[in-house]
Amino acid sequence: MSGSCKAMANGTAVVVGDVSVQPMPAFRSSVLEEGARGGRLVSLFPMEGPDGTLLFAFVAQDAMGTVALFAGALGSERTYPALTAQWPQAQAFERDLWENGGITPEGHPWLKPLCFPSLRSGQTIPADYRYFAAEGEEVHEVAVGPVHAGIIEPGHFRFQCHGEEVLHLEIQLGFQHRGAEGLLRNAPAPRRLTTAESIAGDSVVAHTTAFALVEEALAGAPVPARAHALRAVALELERLANHAGDLGALAGDVGYLPAASFFGRLRGDFLNLTQGLCGNRFGRGLVIPGGVRFDADPGWIDGTLKALTVLRRDMEDTAGLLFGSASVQNRFEGTGILYKDTAELLGVVGPAARASGCGRDVRQDHPAGYYRFAQVPPQMLASGDVYARAMVRWLEIQQSLRFLEDNLPSLPSGFLRVEAGTRQPGRIAVALVEGWRGETVHAAATDASGDLAAYKVTDPSIHNWMGLAMAMRGGAISDFPLCNKSFNLSYAGHDR
Amino acid sequence: MIDLLRARLRQGYRTQPFPPATNPLPERFRGLPVISSGPCAESCQTCMEACPTGAITTDGGVKLDLGKCLFCSACAEACPEGKILFSQDYALASTSREALVLNGEGIRPKVEALQGEMKRLFGRSLKLRQVSAGGCNGCEADLNVLSTVGFDLGRFGIQFVASPRHADGIVVTGPVTRNMASALRATYDAIPAPKLVILVGACALSGGTFAGSPAVAGMPTDIPVDLYIPGCPPHPLTILDGLLRLLGRLGK
């Protein structure tokens, strides 16, 4: 590795002044080189300062367990040659830079607003936007959303089809854009925390843990081991609830109702365990900068271990039904294939990546907090279809059950929280958390007075929505609900 | 098939009676806040400062707006006199917005059941269309859960439907982002009158943690609201309780 970057560990901060700032052409080529060596872009954002605008890129080096930080000095013209042309996984980040930062990545192959934020332009998503269109005899277009048939977040899907076959899918998001990053940077401390809890309401623990790790790294707070352990317990409960819910929804989408209703109920049982710990089914109120607010008392631990015995049995029964049914397998296998090279190219993360043979998992590659002491090897399949995405979830459910059974009886003792303290000036921090949906990243930088000069959230959905669009190509439009559910991406997390 | 029957027998009948015989919620659950009456220490504003959403005012005694409250209990933690406590009471819905501003002197959320023609039309069968307008998927998840075997919303004649034209009312979640304002309006307009409007969650009621964000338009003020269901997100029992009270289906 060259001296052009600063190698950081997950959940740490460095002095901004220690990062070598390169002119844009050199910045660009060193980031691309890191990508060519197998690096993955986990965050890309600008910081406005008295000496001009810096562009920061965090590139995960999974094999080394480090995250490389690159800094580029953006000139007053606020343009640079786009990374995306050579490195497609930068596409969403650079579109965000363009629409939110007023920075133009020149030569970006698809410089379309990501969210149509009303912040800068005052414009909402235009009704007459010209979507990519295919032409030809018997080619037709299908438009779905933003309001969907079920209780689902809003998004618009525009299909170009030839008969049943999907030639192209353009996914228009942004309907959920609430300006969360602005609040995370500027709002008072209590509201920053509740905003972090609401980036994606099904990934509260993942987002608040990343949020807290960044705050703690910027302040240099010594977080107690018990707090780290309880965050991990809550994160695995979050994974169990969502994975169980997803398997149920997949069963429902192929009309296999017994597994749909059993998994639906089991999901609620996991949420109720979280509720017993912190009073909220989704883990709100648990994680705070400096630690956690609620302890796992012996009664809760005993009760949870007993409940897990029954839940494990019921989950095994139900998974046996789902994966043992020939009609289910027939619908899952070969549907919505995301090939490994496409997944690599787009920087897909989480179960969707692991189902396509990409062995990445923050808990293994960049362990922070309690995961430094408890190993969680990635669960992988190679086929990249709906079956693989379902099976990876089932393997991870078993792994999370084992994690809780192994660790709950012997949680580290000690304090629950410390004062997070004040942020140190001129620092930049990054935190990666493997949420149930995948890699959840928060990054922030402070100015000379310790105030936040930049705050960036990367929900796993930022990478993965394009993966869904690619998995649909050449597939049948009637398979879309099933494919969509097998990724189960966050609209709110993407739109922020 | 035999495995399926065995699994069904093992898991048993899972639909919970409603209303439940005893409150099933754990000690740490944060339901209806209880505010002790009487004056606070002079110029003490610790609860107000701790609140993320400005739900609390302290002029002339503590007032807490459940429409803004995220039930985070930061106020209860901050108050040096323990004047705010969160009970396990999940009945939080209200037909009156004013009744959500608690003052420790007997104001509590209150649902006036539908009367006359509205009761006749919707009392035994209510079809609802849900629109998420910036909801984070928390409220959406706990609305969805009402249709699982545990809560079995269908047994009360209530159902979420796919088209606004099949619906008797709309359930709105989220702070109503600028990008969703027109889709929300179009959906509302497509529902045939008379129709009900139900807001679920702090974001829909007040903007919640996103109130005042430049990307948020807020719930249009010209749409009349029939039921407010506070929470972040509201517990499924809170939502179910509110819906059934509105329909006059709970005896109290």
Question: Tens digit of pLDDT for each residue in B87-111?
Answer: 999 999 999 999 999 987 778 899 9
Q: Which residues contact A466 (CB under 8 A, 6 or more apart)?
A: A91, A92, A171, A346
The last residue of one of the domains, among A98, A113, A128, is A113
Q: How confident is the model at residue B252 (pLDDT cuts 50, 70, 90)?
A: low
Mean pLDDT of A317-330: 94
- Please tell me the distance from the alpha carbon of residue A321 to that of residue B11, in angstroms, as a whole number: 13
In a domain, A119, yes or no: no
Rounded Cα distance, B196 and B118, in Å: 9
Asked, for residue A168, whether it belongs to a domain, the answer is no
> What pLDDT score does A177 carry?
94
Cβ–Cβ below 8 Å for A154 and B71 = no
User: Does A118 reside within a domain?
Assistant: no
Question: Of A113, A128, A149, which residue constitutes the final position of a domain?
Answer: A113
* Residue A83 forms part of a structural domain: yes
Q: What pLDDT sits at residue A187? A: 95
pLDDT for the residue numbered A118: 55
If one compares B36 and A491, the residue with the highest pLDDT of the two is A491
Domain assignment present for residue A138? The answer is: no
Average pLDDT over residues A246-256: 95
State how far the Cα of A376 lies from the Cα of A367, in Å rounded to an integer.
9
Decide if pLDDT at A119 tops 70.
no
As a whole number of Å, the end-to-end CA separation of chain B is: 45
Residue B41 has pLDDT above 90, yes or no: no
Nearest to B40 by CA among B80, B74, B86, B78: B80
Q: Which residues of B touch A96 (CB under 8 A)?
A: none
Contacts of B179 in chain A (CB under 8 A): 115-116, 118, 124-125, 174-177
Residues 6+ away with beta carbon under 8 Å from B139 = A201, B132, B173, B174, B200, B201, B203, B204, B231, B233, B234
As given in the structure block, the two tokens for residue A80 are 């640079």
> Which residue is associated with the tokens 């289910």?
A328
User: Which residue, A277, A269, A282, is CA-closest to A312?
Assistant: A269
Distance from CA of B5 to the nearest CA of A (A): 10
Could you say which of B132, B162, B179 has the minimum Cβ distance to residue A125?
A: B179
Bridge partner list, A104: A79
Residues A336 and A324: their CA atoms lie apart, in Å, by: 20
Q: Are A464 and A345 in contact (CB under 8 A)?
A: no
Our count of domains for chain A comes to 2
- The confidence score (pLDDT) of residue A4 equals 87
Tell me the mean pLDDT in the region A242-253: 96
Per-residue model confidence (pLDDT) at position A267: 95
ipTM of the complex as predicted? 0.94
Phi and psi angles of residue A118, each rounded to the nearest 5 degrees, phi first: -75, -5
How far is the first Cα of chain A from the last one, in angstroms, to the nearest whole number?
34
How high is the mean pLDDT of chain B?
Answer: 92
Cβ contact B215–A118 (<8 Å): yes
User: Across A132-146, A450-464, B14-28, B40-54, which has the greatest mean pLDDT?
Assistant: A450-464
Domain encompassing residue A482: 180-495
Q: What pLDDT is stored for residue A383 in this prediction? A: 96
Is B178 near chain A, with CB under 8 Å? yes
Q: Is the pLDDT of residue B37 over 80?
A: no
**Interchain pair A177, B179: CB under 8 A:** yes
What pLDDT is recorded for position A132? 87
Is residue A186 classed as helix, strand or coil in its secondary structure? helix
Pick the CATH number of B33-89 from 3.30.70.20, 3.40.50.12780, 3.40.50.2300, 3.40.630.10: 3.30.70.20
A419: domain CATH number is 1.10.645.10
Locate tokens 């854009």: which residue? A177
Q: Contact A194/B52, CB-based, under 8 Å?
A: yes
Question: Given a cut of 70, is residue A315 above it in pLDDT?
Answer: yes
Res B80: pLDDT: 87
In this structure, the answer to whether residues A329 and A209 fall within a common structural domain is yes
Instruction: Give the pLDDT confidence score for residue A251 in this predicted structure.
Output: 96
Sign of CA dihedral B156, B157, B161, B165: negative
Query: Looking at residue A75, what is its pLDDT?
Result: 86
| CATH architecture, range B116-246 | 3-Layer(aba) Sandwich (3.40)
**Domain ranges, ordered by start, for chain B:** 33-89, 116-246
Mean pLDDT is lowest, of A2-6, A55-59, A453-457, B23-27, for A2-6
What separation in angstroms does the CA of A327 have from each of A330, A333, A386, B147?
Answer: 5, 10, 14, 25
When pLDDT is cut at 50, 70 and 90, the band that residue B39 belongs to is confident
* Residue A51 C-alpha, separation from nearest chain B C-alpha, in angstroms: 28
Q: Which of A280, A288, A281 is nearest to A211 (CA)?
A: A288
Confidence tier at A197 by pLDDT (50, 70, 90): very high
Among the candidates A113, A131, A159, a domain finishes at: A113
Exposure string (b/e) for B129-147, b if CB count within 10 Å is 16 or more? Answer: bbbbbbbbbbbbbbbbbbb
- Say if residues B62 and B56 touch (Cβ distance below 8 Å): yes
Residue of B nearest to A268 (CA): B145
Examine the pLDDT at B120 and tell me if it is beyond 70. Answer: yes
